[in-house]
């Protein structure tokens, strides 16, 4: 099983955005800071999960995934497999498609203080847009 921490950051809302992805697997860690272009804060959080799934599909296929995010909106939407928000619906559909490639997928909400590593990577990605 691998642990995947995700976070999104925006400069403005909407504004330039970045995703931070921190993966722990078998005592090793992997870090990704990905510029995302112009998104809202929530969109950046969803996109960070999607980007992490794509990375896992490429680099860690067939693994059991345990995701962690400090975004209640993202975690609740994915756990309940439902959103009324028309902006979030395409993200949910894409995320569900990518989740299907893995034997097991879990997502858990964590407090911001437990997600500092992914947050730092997301902020780093913001500066890559400049």
Provide the CATH number for the domain around residue 20. 3.30.420.10
Contact 47, 91 (CB under 8 A): yes
**DSSP bridge partners of 22:** 5, 31
CA 17 to chain centre: 13
pTM of the predicted model, to two decimals?
A: 0.96
For residue range 97-126, list pLDDT tens digits in order. 999 999 999 999 999 999 999 999 999 999
Q: Supply the range of the domain harboring residue 18.
A: 2-128
- Tell whether the model's pLDDT for residue 41 goes beyond 90: yes
Q: What helix, strand, coil percent values describe the chain, rounded to 5?
A: 40, 35, 25
Contact 126, 13 (CB under 8 A): no
If one counts the domains in the chain, the total is 1
């Amino acid at each position: 099983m691998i642990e995947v921490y995700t976070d999104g950051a925006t400069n403005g809302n909407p504004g330039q955005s970045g995703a931070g992805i921190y993966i722990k697997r078998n005592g090793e860690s992997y870090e990704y800071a990905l510029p995302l272009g112009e998104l809202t804060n929530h969109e950046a959080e969803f996109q960070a999960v999607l980007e992490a799934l794509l990375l896992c599909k490429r680099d860690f296929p067939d693994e059991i995934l345990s995701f962690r995010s400090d975004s209640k909106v993202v975690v609740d939407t994915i756990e309940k497999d439902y959103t009324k928000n028309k902006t979030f619906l395409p993200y949910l559909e894409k995320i569900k498609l990518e989740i299907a490639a893995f034997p097991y997928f879990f997502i858990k909400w964590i407090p911001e203080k437990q997600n500092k590593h992914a947050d730092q990577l997301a902020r780093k990605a913001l500066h890559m847009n400049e």
